[in-house]
Chains A and B, each alone.
Chain A
């Protein structure tokens, strides 16, 4: 499908709004991060967090935390936090200038009409 317009799908005939296209790009990044966190966290914990009732060896504890919590949850949590902050501050596009301008215009005209009435 053409990224910039919907014509090739035969459904519509207009050019897509850049904010919509930005949102789609951001959606793909979110999806990838979610899959990474799911595979890392659940994969590691499935392999190392579960202990059979017959197991006699003690659970390894690092810095006061069971090792599977540290590598399978705390570390991906830290990674996701850094990635989300990067995504929020540097990846999301501020593309609502058109709306902000329209809202400011509307507010101004409302104020003007109010003062005219008075």
Chain B
């Protein structure tokens, strides 16, 4: 069956040559990742298995330590969610992300020195094991392990899904990928559960899962660190290249910001298309991002629209289903459209297709106003108070730095560097790395609205679309693949670290310490490989039909981990008196107060969003409760045993002499 396409030389859909270039780039990237895993696997056979597999023998130097810390912190959200927010709300995202100015100092500096020293003193490989040594009691480690396994497993599902979607959009127009998806679809269409998923998405999920499971289980921590270095370099290079291209193509930052200042938020709506010639019966496909115009009311100019989804009129049908669409209101957008139209660069819905618009909804904050994209609180479709009221901005400022410090995934990295000298240099480098990445992202995606207007119903697609737009305008198609590899790399580097954390918790903290302390090295090895693979496979299946609210799942689990772990670990590092009972109380109080605010939010709003007590994120309340409970319980109970205090806080007399 042939589809009648509406053609345009610069449709944002990838040309075949561009798609093949993207495939080659991605193929090379995958080969390098697997090569690193094999190299790392060889190292494993020469060193102590557990310490090497789960902690890289505690020997990370400056660059690997900096890159693995940075790559683990930057999840897929940094390269998919964050750009889409900048696109949707403008310069106010600089305020939203401002807390990142303190992330290197607080995220790395707050716990690094003490955590690393205590881990080396006790020989601990995992975070629960370190807590066991610090408090001299197994119960705290059991609670920590349960929280880590429970929350991290939930965290992995959306990461798998986001990475698969990225891969799917990267490969969507590669012929071999398309054929493989069709073949996979014919197999899965008869299998219950799998039959509900889109075959293209399933293929993306399968490819991503095989790659990440293979290299993580094969190479362990060192493979993860080496790939983090590679991924960190990909992210850094990708962002720098994008910044140069975007500033060049937009005509400079001043021009872009001045244009943005004159733009007003669009009206969101739905569009349906129908044939004017009812005798024609062939299927018609209208590409996403096509433009169309409708006559305005009397005395008003023509109305300009852009669709954000593919519209299809099926064979023997006269109408398409309704698709997401935006009405563009700014003079700049009209001028841009006219210029693209004259140069035949715009995909325009032809006259023989009739468009009808319905369900028109203006922004609740910022509708019809200029300047909203360059000031706070930023335009918002859903809320009259705008995107970022000041109380929420303060909450985010604290969340980025403190929340990052409380992630167990980051804490494990802090246990793995080889000396304080390494920490000092890595901290200085991290300042530059994060500064360049996040400042550049804000600049790039503030300009993106000027280059590609009218994506407001599907802003999540701005990263891949901008990558391909920049690469194709610059005449370097392979660059599109490299630029899109950045968010994929970010998802991968988060997933691999968390898979290892869960695996280490199960093998070391539950099986070895709880059930079989005398287990042989061979069994530990087999169990570790098995657990890493099993976790990957379970999460992969969960991601086939994962829940809709992915972003809230990521935020919920990230905040939950910080609420539970940051304060007890902080007290454990800096307060000799802090004991086992207070640690458990602090951990549980932090987590359950956080959970309660989410439950209250669901009950009050009847939607999956938290209750913001005094406009502050639940994570901050979790920290406050955790700190207060930890403090009072510690004061009300006997201090930690003297020998433990001496071990971790006392002067080493021999060393002093």
List residues of A whose CB falls within 8 A of some B CB.
Answer: 6, 9, 11-20, 22-24, 26-27, 30, 33-34, 37-38, 41-42, 45-46, 49-51, 53, 55, 58-59, 61, 63-66, 68-69, 72-74, 76-77, 80-81, 83-85, 87-89, 92-103
Whole-angstrom CA separation of A59 from B94 in the bound complex: 15
Closest CB of chain A to B136's CB: distance in Å? 15
B371 x A87 contact (CB < 8 A): no
Whole-angstrom CA separation of A30 from B431 in the bound complex: 14
Chain A residues with Cβ under 8 A from B95's Cβ?
45, 49, 69, 72-73
B394 x A42 contact (CB < 8 A): yes
Closest CB of chain A to B189's CB: distance in Å? 51
| B263 interface residue per 8 A CB criterion | no
B574 x A27 contact (CB < 8 A): yes
B114 x A41 contact (CB < 8 A): no
Chain A residues with Cβ under 8 A from B105's Cβ?
30, 33-34, 80, 83-84, 87
Chain B residues with Cβ under 8 A from A68's Cβ?
375-376
The answer to whether residues A96 and B420 also contact, given A38-B397, A64-B257 and a CB cut-off of 8 A, is yes
| B117 interface residue per 8 A CB criterion | yes
Q: Interface size (B, Cβ < 8 Å)?
A: 65
Whole-angstrom CA separation of A103 from B57 in the bound complex: 12
B626-651 to A contact mask, C-beta < 8 Å, 1/0: 00000000000001001001100111
**Which B residues from 355 to 373 make CB contacts under 8 A with A?**
365-366, 369, 371-372
With both beta carbons as reference points, the residue of chain B lying nearest to A20 in the complex is identified as B649
* A-B CB contact pairs (8 Å), 27 listed: A6-B649, A11-B576, A11-B577, A12-B639, A15-B651, A16-B650, A23-B573, A45-B95, A51-B371, A51-B375, A61-B254, A63-B253, A66-B91, A68-B376, A73-B98, A77-B98, A80-B102, A81-B431, A84-B105, A85-B428, A87-B105, A88-B428, A88-B431, A89-B428, A94-B420, A95-B420, A101-B655
B101 x A76 contact (CB < 8 A): yes
With both beta carbons as reference points, the residue of chain B lying nearest to A91 in the complex is identified as B424
A30 x B110 contact (CB < 8 A): yes
B376 x A45 contact (CB < 8 A): yes
A88 x B253 contact (CB < 8 A): no
Whole-angstrom CA separation of A88 from B375 in the bound complex: 34
| B268 interface residue per 8 A CB criterion | no
Chain B residues with Cβ under 8 A from A59's Cβ?
261, 371, 374-375
Chain A residues with Cβ under 8 A from B120's Cβ?
99, 103
Q: Give the contacting residue for B101; candidates A37, A65, A100, A102; CB below 8 A.
A: A37
**Which B residues from 384 to 436 make CB contacts under 8 A with A?**
390, 393-394, 397-398, 401, 419-421, 423-425, 427-428, 431-432, 435
5 nearest A-B pairs in the assembled complex, by CB-CB distance: A64-B253, A98-B655, A88-B427, A64-B254, A49-B376
| B258 interface residue per 8 A CB criterion | yes
